[in-house]
A and B are shown apart, each in its own frame.
Chain A
């Protein structure tokens, strides 16, 4: 099967008058349809840059990024991007926030709106449609942000530490919640995080990046012998500890 997303020796550097800061160096990997990839690495190693590149917000200096064989700059609409904070606009109701993307891309058709309404009902936000974002809890806001991203029916979902702004308690439930939603909607997803347990519990594969300029150190396929593989169940599985230790060792093993 041909991969959905291909990165071929991608490199990127930031430029300023005081010098050049290489962020990514020769990154290559493939993502298959329906796969959940988690990318971990030390903070400031260029994880977010990688997502911006895949989203087509910036172009790689070297290398190619292809979705279904075409360059991302031409296929931007098929990528959904969830940022660190929900960034729901306070001057819009939850519903208006959720359809923001449809509004921008002029896709306010019955078909799209129906699927938004369905998601609002399925994920318990129906009653909060006309509320302001400040009236919602952190978890509900994050769910609204996810629906806003999914409303455009992206073929790949990018998650840039989407739970880092939440407190630990909420974070566990929300990452479980969001993980289940993404599995249920059968989305291909790439999650960037510095939280190892999050990466292991959510990902089908964990990619470990080195410190800046980031290169791929290793790729761990994650497999749990569980019937009902929810992120919270994964955290309690016996294999979890082994994966954690292996990746932890890999991350801290800087020459």
Chain B
């Protein structure tokens, strides 16, 4: 069934959109990532104009994260206090990110920089997670179900001032690192047009030392508000939020997220992380190949003065 999207001004198959939404929704529920880093390139591939894809994706992430976060609230796996600290940073970061984006647009190389950002961050994070979870699995196999030897390192993070108790995470750390994580993710969210969960989740695990089960719900909590903010910015400045596209993606997405959350609970944290790492690396590889191999068509056409 073909459906005409009023803002994107293209006609696409409605079931294709529902399917894409569902698939990305499952991943969203499993890993606590918004799925934007997968969905945005997928939307480009089916012919949605990039500006519309990025803006609509922000809107869709709000929905898929909302149902996900509700599920996590019920299981009490959301650290609200940590979420608020991340959120304050995230909103400030997103506001700055939009300014940076506008600047890059004027310089004319926004496309390349977005791609390079993807390759760089996905590559580093995917690689680190893959190695780490591989080691964790190896360790748990050789030592049986023994408790993890190194719980948390007391490093420079614990020397910072403004300490706060995060009871749900079982942490007593400075608010500065989570604020900076939120801020940084906010900038990237605005520039790359994603929720930023794929960066925030590992940052929370490895940098802040939060327990994996709490990380997913808390990052979803932050993502909802940052992407809602981004949606409003896109809707009022670029008019690129496509409501019909968003509804189709999210109908698939919310159903997928519920299924994903249930799968996630049943899986071991290490397995979850190695899967996410592999997926991140796959997307990274695809984007890197696009940059490295000679394209079949050297020319591209963008509408508007500056694309």
Same complex: no
